[in-house]
Amino acid sequence: MNRGTVRGRALDVAELPTIVFSHRSLMWWGTLGVMVIEGTVFALAVMAYFYLRSHQATWPLTALPPDLLWGTLNTIVMLASFIPAHLAKRAAEKLNLRGVQVWLVVSTLFGIAFTVIRGFEFSTLNVRWDSNAYGSVVWLLLGLHTTHIVTDLLDTIVLTVLFFTGPLDGKRYVDVSENSFYWYFVVAAWLPIYLVIYWGARTP
Amino acid sequence: MRHGPLGEKPHPHKGRTKDGLAGGEVVARVLDETWSDPPGFLGWFCAVNHKAIGRRFLVTCLVFFALGGLLAATMRMQLSRPGNTLVGPDLYNQIFTMHGSTMMFLFAVPVFQAVAIYLVPLMVGARATAFPRMTAYSYWIFVFGGVMLYGAFFVNAGPDAGWFSYPPLAGPEYGAGKRSDIWAQMITFTEVSALLDAVIIICTVFKMRAPGMTLNRIPLYVWAMLVVAFMILFAMPAVALASSLLIMDRLVATHFYNPGEGGDVLLWQHLFWFFGHPEVYLIFLPGLGMISAMIPTFARRPMFGYTAMVLSLIATGFLSFGLWVHHMFATNVPELGKTFFTAASMLIAIPTAVQIYCWIATLWTGRLNFKVPLYYVLSFFVILVIGGMTGLMLASVSLDSQVHDSYFVVAHLHYVLIGGAVFPLFGALYYWYPKFCGHLMSERLGRWSFWLMFVGFNVAFFPMHILGMNGMPRRVYTYPAELGWGTLNFVSTLGAATLAIGIFLTLVNALRSARHGEAAGADPWGAGTLEWLAASPPRTCNFAALPVVHGRDPLWQGVPAGQVDHVCGLAADVREVLCTTVADAKPDSRMIFPEPTPAPFVAAVATTVLFVGSIFTPWAVVWGSIPLAIVLVWWFWPSQREAEEELALESTEELRAEQA
């Protein structure tokens, strides 16, 4: 690996690469920092759910548990979206323009799909946010995750457009890689939230 | 050099001029030009240079400190004699809430981040903070949050439920008007700012250190700020979430804190103190870091026990998350749980003690240079030890239940926070002022200021211990004469006035010295860390050539014969920076940083519209996000020229391998 060239008392770094991925990239660390913050918010919201539940004799208070259909379907769609996100990342790390274009478009379609299904999820929660504390915390969890889905979808759309219109340079491949990295996080964060929302209201 | 993915052409000449000492002053001037912010009034809103942002951020925090101080002075005037009618109960509630909220959220945490934004790049040998435009955005967001809070206060809508804003008092049932909503949104503003700055500091320290500055050569101040930044990542989300739940309870009728519908008011206390206790250490650790920067300089020897110091900082960071329930000993949490938190509260004294012993060892074996910063450092030992002692007392459930919500607690927290943070901060201001301004502050005026502050502080706050044990509760706007609290309160007010004069003298000193102070030179104290390698004030590009580091105190240890001492080969006419590896700080890659732009400012305005709008209608979250999204896309979207410059300097490992 290139570590610079010694020229007298100077360390010449002009030959170092500019396009680096994963933990070698400053952007990766920034993305990771944001994930830690948001992961902490999710974890605390889940703790709030169980804190409230632990203080009640019946749960979900007076409401019915949420319908399983849309939430489970969305979980499957999200897990499937790992594939285009991963392929976009792989194409980006090989600086493959065509591959990035294709997989970004597919990722965008997946993003639109789970945003739409999310709408159905809200409508089959069987409780309103202002009915009782159970309703409040369920809407909180689903709402928090939805903001992540929407922002990630917008990011992906912007990147997709940029990859067709330009101006592009090699650094944008790093952005695609980080976008997929963040996508992994949004999907991975959904799994515990799914279990809490849909099964936390069903266990005795 | 090659073409872009869609056939974009590289810039014809940018990136050819390289930095390094060989180019001499000519190249250094080019670098200064490259890294400067645009001139003029409009240019002021485009600034991204970390020194410009850091300076503004610091001044803004000190203005909030002064405002919070004026509020404190008003409270001391009101309490100076029994039955006083200077301030009525409603205004008094707003004043103590504003005082606490200002000092905690608009001064104590951000002021240390402000100093870090200025100093950390200089101390690790870099030309910028990571993500310079985000640095600017987080500053603007902070300013707007503070302005909103004070704007509300001036129209009699200042929050009045205490700085920790407990429901149900702050909830929809008892918290009338918009006061608590203002408080909750102020939290959102300041936490967004603090969280972004934490990410910036972590990335700067991890990836932008000078070659050779391995993990075990990072200056202790930078270590402290790194630990603080990590703590912020895990602590601040708790208060941001808690205050969002509070505002939702108030605005859209959720029931998180409403026991009537299955909610729980103690949920607030858990979430708040899960942030609130680490908060104490967020305020305290930067002060420790500053002390660790000053003591070696004024003891004229390297720090004793560097590794133990670093491990203590990290241990404090971890332990601080296991203490929050000791703020809730007066609630119905299980007794066994309280015992655990008592033990943890006692335990955290150990890493702090390790650091104090290391400092004493350094001072003991050094040749002391008695300058004003050292006075502040030494006073820290006295004040903090008293604050720490009362802290150990409060960690015991039985004693805590006795003095809970009394002036004993007020005395304790001011000893810890002023002793642990404000005195080190003032020492640090005297210490780094020559670096910021190029002139030394007056020693004579500095000593006057110090002694007035030290004596005034103790006279103001020591009597509060006794008042508390005599039963005086916090947050009362007045008291009858028969209770016998009059004399001690009067003494306390005199002390507060003395403290204020002492602080004022430092302000005078700073303003006077900016013009009339003795010229400082690069390293007026004979210190060993990299910020003293830069000129005072540092040139726009910080360093004409980035240094290469061979030890913990590079300026003292110098460069071994035959070794490299500086970096060359970064573009001088483009904002190119060097990224190094996380553990060993080996040169790893180059990166081009963005140029000044008004986008962060405009984005902060759009964010403010969303946040403030949502106090009045929840729909603001929906329509407010549209302009924000547009601004953010504009912020991100690259220009033709940026892509050209990028391509002119572009290189990948594959490309290099092909050429070879």
Contacts of B238 in chain A (CB under 8 A): 40, 44
3-state SS of B105-170?
HHHHHHHHHHHHHHHHHHHHCCCCCCCHHHHHHHHHHHHHHHHHHHHHHHCCCCCCCCCCCCCCCC
Q: The sheet that has B566-568: what strands, in order across it?
A: A5-7, A10-12, B566-568
Residues B13-33: pLDDT tens digits? Answer: 998 999 989 888 999 999 999
Percent of chain B at pLDDT > 90 equals 87
Average pLDDT of span B318-343: 84
pLDDT at site B660: 55
What pLDDT does residue B450 have?
A: 98
pLDDT of residue B361: 97
Predicted confidence (pLDDT) at residue B659 exceeds the cutoff of 70: no
B165 φ/ψ angles, rounded to the nearest 5 degrees:
45, 50
B653 to chain A: which residues are within 8 Å by CB? 1-2, 17, 20
Do the Cβ atoms of A166 and B643 come within 8 Å? Answer: yes
pLDDT at B1 over 80: no
User: Residues 292 to 321 of B: which have CB under 8 A from any A CB?
Assistant: none
Q: What is the mean pLDDT of residues B312-334?
A: 88
Q: What percent of chain A has pLDDT over 90?
A: 91
Q: Is the pLDDT of residue B7 over 90?
A: no
Whether the CB of A202 is below 8 Å from some CB of chain B: the reply is: no
Residues from chain B contacting residue A34 (CB–CB below 8 Å): 199
Check if the interface score ipTM surpasses 0.85. Answer: yes
Residue pair B328/B273 in contact (Cβ under 8 Å)? The answer is yes
pLDDT digits (tens, 9 = 90+) for A40-80: 999 999 999 999 999 998 889 888 999 999 999 999 999 99
- How do beta strands A5-7 and A10-12 pair? antiparallel
Give the pLDDT score at B372: 97
Give the CA angle between residues B440, B442, B446 to the nearest 5°. 120
pLDDT digits (tens, 9 = 90+) for B186-216: 999 999 999 999 999 999 999 999 999 999 9
**Average pLDDT estimate for B526-551:** 95
Averaged confidence pLDDT in chain B:
94
Residues sharing a CB contact under 8 Å with residue B422, sequence separation 6 or more, in sequence order: none
- For the cut 70, the answer to whether the pLDDT of residue A204 exceeds it is no
pTM over 0.90: yes
Q: What is the DSSP code string of B305-361?
A: THHHHHHHHHHHHHHGGG-GGGG-TTS---HHHHHHHHHHHHHTHHHHHHHHHHHHH
Residue B176: band (very low, low, confident or very high) from pLDDT cuts 50, 70, 90: confident
- Judged by a CB distance cut-off of 8 A, whether residue B331 touches chain A is no
How sure is the predictor about B656, in pLDDT bands with cuts at 50, 70 and 90? low
3-state helix, strand, coil in chain A (%, to 5): 70, 5, 25
Rounded to the nearest angstrom, the minimum Cα separation between A194 and chain B is 20
Interfacial A residues in 62-121 facing B (CB < 8 Å): 95, 97
The reported pLDDT for the residue numbered A188 is 97
A 124-183 residues inside an 8 A Cβ radius of B:
129-137, 139-140, 154, 158, 162-163, 166-172
- CB proximity under 8 Å: B 616-645 to A: 629, 633, 636-640, 642-644
Confidence of residue B334 (pLDDT cuts 50, 70, 90): confident
> Residue A99 above 90 pLDDT?
yes
What is the mean predicted confidence (pLDDT) over B128-149?
Answer: 97
- At B443, list the tokens: 């020693």
Reported as a single tens digit per residue, the pLDDT across B593-613 is 999 999 999 999 999 999 999
Q: Which residues pair with B591 in a beta bridge?
A: B577
Q: How many CA atoms lie within 13 A of B247 on its CB side?
A: 26
**Is A23 an interface residue toward B (CB < 8 Å)?**
yes
* Secondary structure E strands in B392-544: none
Cα dist. B391→B271, B386, B422 in Å?
22, 9, 18
Q: Which two tokens stand for residue B173?
A: 């049932």
| In chain B, where the domains are located | 21-43+528-659
Strand partners, A6: A11
Which tens digits make up the pLDDT trace of B569-579? 999 999 999 99
pLDDT at B323: 84
Whether the per-residue pLDDT at B655 is higher than 70: the answer is no
CB atoms B642 and A40 under 8 Å: no
Asked if B9 is an interface residue toward chain A (Cβ–Cβ < 8 A), one would say no
Minimal CA–CA distance to B618: which of B182, B252, B185, B148? B252
What tens digit of pLDDT does each residue of B481-498 get? 999 999 999 999 999 999
pLDDT at B240: 96
Out of B241, B570, B642, the one facing A41 most closely (by C-beta) is B241
| Cα of A83 to nearest chain B Cα, Å | 24
Please determine, for residue B390, whether its predicted confidence score (pLDDT) is greater than 70: yes
Contact at CB, A17 and B656, closer than 8 angstroms: yes
A59 interaction partners in chain B (CB closer than 8 Å): none
pLDDT band at B289 (very low <50, low <70, confident <90, very high): very high
The per-residue pLDDT of chain A, averaged, comes to: 95
Give the three-class secondary structure for B629: helix
A152-186 pLDDT, tens digit each = 999 999 999 999 998 999 999 999 999 999 999 99
Please give the residue that has the higher pLDDT: either B2 or A179: A179
Q: Give first-to-last CA distance, chain B, whole Å.
A: 15
pLDDT of the residue at B217:
96
